[in-house]
Structure 1
C-alpha cells in the first residue's frame, strides 16, 4: 500500500510538472492554425500549362491502332498521365523494383505479401523459383490522382496525336492544355512529393485565367473560389492562352487582377498570396500589383519557362519556394508588415517586382534591371534576405487602390474641341473599374534619326497620329524611350512629344533597355523622368499615377504656350515626378 501511495504521489508530481507544458502546447496549436494561401491564376501561364494528351500505346494496342514510334521505327514508351480511378482495383507490385539497389539489402525488408507466377496468378506462398515476390495493394478513387496510360481517343476512333483533331483545326475542334485554375497542379505537386498540403491550405481564384470552360460548369463541380455556376466562357474574353489558339488579355483586365487580389487580402483568411502568369508578362503584372494592392501581407509571383510534363519543369519548384517564402515571414518588418512589396520567387532567388525582366526562355533566364539592387535574397538555404527596398509599395504606395479618388476629371478631343469629362475610377465598394484604366502608349527614339535641316516635329507623323489617338481617351499618356542614361530622343521627336504634353498628356522619358543609370530629373523640361525604370515598368507606374493625378493642364495654343501655362504644367509634372522618384 505504501509502495502504491509512493507511486501515486510520483504520478501526481509528474502530472503537475508536465501538465502546464501540455496545456501550453495545446493552446499554441489552437491559436497557431494551419495557414491558408490564396492562389491566383493569371493569363498565358506556362506554369499552368501541360503538354498535350497523346493516346498511349496501351490504348493503341487495345483498339488496334498503329503504335506510336520514333523516327527510327522503334516503339516509344508510354508517358503515364495523372488520372482518377473510377473504382477500387487490386494491383500486384513486384518487390524491390522501386530502386535498383533495394534487393542489395533485401535482408532489411519484411516478407512480401505473396507471389505471382508466370501465368499472373497470385499466391500467398512461393510455388516456383520463377515466382515473383509482390506487394498486394488496393488503389481507391479517394486516394487521388495516379499516373496511368492515357486511353483517350478521338470521336472517330483515331488516336490523339496533338492538342487538336488536326493541326489546322479551329479552336472548336481542339482541347485545352492550360488548366482553368491551379487546384489541379497543386494536387499533382502533392502527388509528386511536394508535401505542400503539409505546409498550408489553399484557395484558388480564376482572376484572369489561361484556361476556360467553353460549356460552363455547375457550381457543384467548381474547384475555385466563386459564386454560382460558371457560364459558358470564350477564348479572348474570359480566358487567355498562347500557342495555336492565342488570345491576349486587354488592359481592362488590369483592374480585374487588382480587385481579385485586394478582396482576398481584405478577407482576413490568408497568410499571403501567389500570382501565376506567363513568363514574359509576369514581370509587369507583379509590379502593377505591388503598386495597386493595399495590403501588409506578402505577395509573390511565379512563372515557368517549361510546361508541365517537360523534363525538369521549373514552375513546381518556384511555387514551392513561394510557399516557403510566405511562411518564413522574412518579408515582415518589426510590426509584421510586408517590407518588400510584391516579389518574384524564381529559380531560388527573391527578386524585386520593380527590377526584374525576362532575358531568355530558360530557367535562370530572368535578369535584374536598373543597376541598383533588384535581388532581395535567396531561397537556396532557406528564405534569407540580403536587401530591403526604400521604394514605396503595397500598403505604402501613393497609387494603391485605396488612395485613388472615386472620380477624376479627364479630357477628350471631339471634332477638334476638348471636353472635360468625369471619369469614374472606383465603384461604391472601392473596386477599380475596368473602364478607368488609362491608355498609355510606348515610343522609341534615337540620335542620327532626324532629316537634315534641323528639328521638324511636323515630320513625326507617327507620334502625331499617336497623340491624336490618345486624345480620344479621357485618361492617357506616353512613355518615350531614349538613349541611356539620358533618355534623349531626336530633337524632332522631343519637340513632337512636347506637343503631347501641351495637349494635356503626361509623358515619361526612360533610358533604353535595362539601363543601369538613373535618368536625371530636369525641372526645366516638360517631361517626367523615369528614374531607372524600364519602359514597360514606367508604363505600369504611369497608368496608376494618371488615375491618381489626372491629365496635365492644357495650353490654349500648344504652338505658342504662355509662361503661366508652362508653369502650371510643370507644377503638375512635379507631382508625377515625386511618384516616379519614390515608387
Structure 2
C-alpha cells in the first residue's frame, strides 16, 4: 500500500513537471506572428535625409551647419547607427532628467569620477570631479543614436539637397526604407516594446525603397528566397518626390497575389500594410475586398517622415500591433468580424469609409455619412461599432471567389462586339497582372456644356476616346461617373456617353460627388450601377473587383441601336454588380 502511494505521488510529480514544461514551451510559442507588408510611396517608411554632422565638418574643415540667422547649430542631429567594436563610455550621473539631482540621496554610488583633465578615476580628487557611470557599448547591443560622420567621395558634406534633387536618381541616395525590419528595430530601441508582443516577418509586395545593386540572400532582412536581383525605380519600387514613380494596376495584382498567399498560409495571426497616406485609403479597401483571410488586416500610414519632430508613423504601427494582439477584432470563433481597418492617430477606421482630408496628424475623415469610425486605441483598443459590410473571408469578390476567366469585350474584323473569355488567373491560381481591369473616373459639373441641352454624347470626346482605346487594348474595363450629391446625376451628354459605354459592354458605376453623405436610389431601368453611398474612388476599387468576379456586360452588336433583348441582358448582368455594391 505504501509502495502504491509512493508510486502515485511520483506519477503526480512527473505529470506536474510535464505539464509545467508544456506550459512553458506553449507559452513561448503563444506569441502571435504578424506579416508586415511594405507598400508604395510610404511616408511611414521614409526618413529625413542623412546630413553630415558639424562634428564631422569640423574634423574635415568643411562649412558648418548654421541656423537661418547664420549661427552655428548648437547640437548635431542624431541618427540610429551600429558601432563596430566595443567602446567604454562614461555617463555623467543625474543628466537623464533635470530633477534627478534633486534626490541624489536615493541613488547608489557612482562607478567613479571624471576630472577636468577628462580622465576617469575610481575616487574623487576634487569637488569639481563629475560622478559617472561606466558603460560598455557593444555591437550586439543594437542601434545607438550617434552623429552622422560620412562625407561624399568628393570630400563635400552631405546636405539635405546634396545630389538630391538636382542629380540623376543613380547619383542620389534613397530616403525610403526597402522593408520595415529596420523601422521595427528602431521602434523597439526607442521604447516601443513591440518585440515582446509579437514576432514579425517582413514582405515587399510593392516597396518604396529598392536595392538598385541587388542584395545577396544572406543579407536579406525580408522574407524571400535567393538573391534579390538589381531593382528598378518604377518597376520594383515606387517613391514620391523628385524621383517619383507611381505604382500601376499590374503591380497591384502582384501585390495582391503575395498578400493572399502569405495570409492563406495560416502562419500569421494578422498583418500590417504600410503605404503612402493619399493612396492607402484605396489599397486598404481593395485588400479588404480581395484577401480571403479570417485574420485581421491593418493598414498604417504617416503624415510626417521619420526623424521629424512629432513623426506619427511609429505610434500608428504600435497601435496596429496592439490592435491585432488584443483580439478585439475576433468573434467567438476567433474569426475577424471587421475585415480590414486603417488605424491612424489612435482611431480605428473602416477601410471602406476612410479618406485622407489633410496632410497632418488627425487629417483623415470618414465618407458615406454614416459609420466609418469603429473604435479607438486610447487606453487600449476598444470597438464601438461593427460594420455590416461584407469583407475578407465574407466578401463576394474575394480572391478565392474570382474564377479563372470571365467574359471580356472583343471586336470582330467586321467591327461587331461580343463577349470572349479573358483569363484573370494563371495556372498557379494567381491574378494575371495584364488582366487587371482598366477603370476610369469622369466628373460631371453644371454650367459645362456649350450646346442647348442636347443629350448628344459627341461633345464628351474624352469618354468616347476612352471607349475606343479600351476596345483596342483592354477587354476588361469599366467607367465611373461622379455626379451631383446624393443622386449621382450628371449632365445629359455625359449620361449619354456613359450609357454608350455600357452598351459596348463596359460596366458603368454612378457615384455622388464629395464624401457621398447620402444613399443613392437604385434604378433597375437604367444601364448604370448605383453606388449607394460610396465615393467615386472607393467605387472604382469595388468595380475593379466586380469585373474580376463577373466580367463585362454582354455588349450590343450595334451600341447605337440596341435591341430590347440586348438591353434586358445588360440589366440582368447589372443586378450582380448592384447587389455587391449594396453589401460591400
The TM-score, its normalising length taken from structure 2, stands at: 0.95
SS of 1:92's equivalent in the other structure is strand
Equivalent-residue separation in structure 1 for 2:99 and 2:209 (angstroms): 43
Equivalent-residue separation in structure 1 for 2:412 and 2:127 (angstroms): 92
Equivalent-residue separation in structure 2 for 1:193 and 1:16 (angstroms): 45
CA gap of 1:166–1:263, structure 2 versus 1, over 3 A, is closer
- CA drift of 1:454 comes to 2.5
CA gap of 1:354–1:420, structure 2 versus 1, over 3 A, is same
Residue number in structure 2 paired with 1:530: 531
Q: Which runs of 5+ in 1 are unaligned?
A: 1-11
Residue number in structure 1 paired with 2:460: 460
Residue number in structure 2 paired with 1:117: 115
- CA drift of 1:455 comes to 2.1
Q: Choose the corresponding residue for 1:326, options 310, 316, 324.
A: 324
SS of 1:350's equivalent in the other structure is strand
- CA drift of 1:545 comes to 0.4
CA gap of 1:373–1:22, structure 2 versus 1, over 3 A, is farther
Residue number in structure 1 paired with 2:5: none
Whether contact under 8 Å (2:41, 2:240) holds in the other structure is: yes
Residue 268 of structure 2 corresponds to residue 270 of structure 1: yes
Residue 392 of structure 2 corresponds to residue 391 of structure 1: no
Residue number in structure 2 paired with 1:565: 566
Residue number in structure 2 paired with 1:150: 148
Equivalent-residue separation in structure 2 for 1:580 and 1:24 (angstroms): 52
Whether contact under 8 Å (1:115, 1:134) holds in the other structure is: yes
CA gap of 1:500–1:306, structure 2 versus 1, over 3 A, is same
- CA drift of 1:255 comes to 1.0
Whether contact under 8 Å (2:418, 2:555) holds in the other structure is: no
Q: Choose the corresponding residue for 1:67, options 64, 69, 74.
A: 64
Whether contact under 8 Å (1:154, 1:165) holds in the other structure is: no
- CA drift of 1:447 comes to 2.9
Residue number in structure 2 paired with 1:441: 440
Equivalent-residue separation in structure 2 for 1:20 and 1:419 (angstroms): 72
Equivalent-residue separation in structure 1 for 2:530 and 2:163 (angstroms): 52
Q: Choose the corresponding residue for 1:159, options 149, 157, 168.
A: 157
Whether contact under 8 Å (1:240, 1:248) holds in the other structure is: yes
Residue number in structure 1 paired with 2:26: 31
Equivalent-residue separation in structure 2 for 1:166 and 1:144 (angstroms): 30
CA gap of 1:331–1:21, structure 2 versus 1, over 3 A, is farther
SS of 1:204's equivalent in the other structure is strand
CA gap of 1:347–1:21, structure 2 versus 1, over 3 A, is farther
SS of 1:494's equivalent in the other structure is helix
Worse-superposed segment, 467-476 or 110-119? 467-476
SS of 1:82's equivalent in the other structure is strand
SS of 2:547's equivalent in the other structure is helix
Equivalent-residue separation in structure 2 for 1:566 and 1:418 (angstroms): 14
SS of 2:35's equivalent in the other structure is strand
Equivalent-residue separation in structure 2 for 1:273 and 1:455 (angstroms): 49
SS of 1:197's equivalent in the other structure is coil
SS of 2:132's equivalent in the other structure is strand
Residue number in structure 2 paired with 1:8: none
- CA drift of 1:106 comes to 0.6
Residue number in structure 1 paired with 2:469: 469
SS of 2:369's equivalent in the other structure is coil
Equivalent-residue separation in structure 2 for 1:326 and 1:174 (angstroms): 38
Residues 410-430 of structure 1, C-alpha deviations (whole Å, 9 max, x = no match): 123476444644322112332
Equivalent-residue separation in structure 2 for 1:497 and 1:170 (angstroms): 43
Residue number in structure 1 paired with 2:3: none
Whether contact under 8 Å (2:417, 2:558) holds in the other structure is: no
Residues 210-261 of structure 1, C-alpha deviations (whole Å, 9 max, x = no match): 0000100000100000010000011101000001111001111111221121
- CA drift of 1:453 comes to 4.8
Residues 94-125 of structure 1, C-alpha deviations (whole Å, 9 max, x = no match): 01100010011011001110011111111011
Equivalent-residue separation in structure 2 for 1:127 and 1:499 (angstroms): 94
Whether contact under 8 Å (2:417, 2:504) holds in the other structure is: no
1:172-251 matched pairs, under 5 angstroms: 172-251=170-249
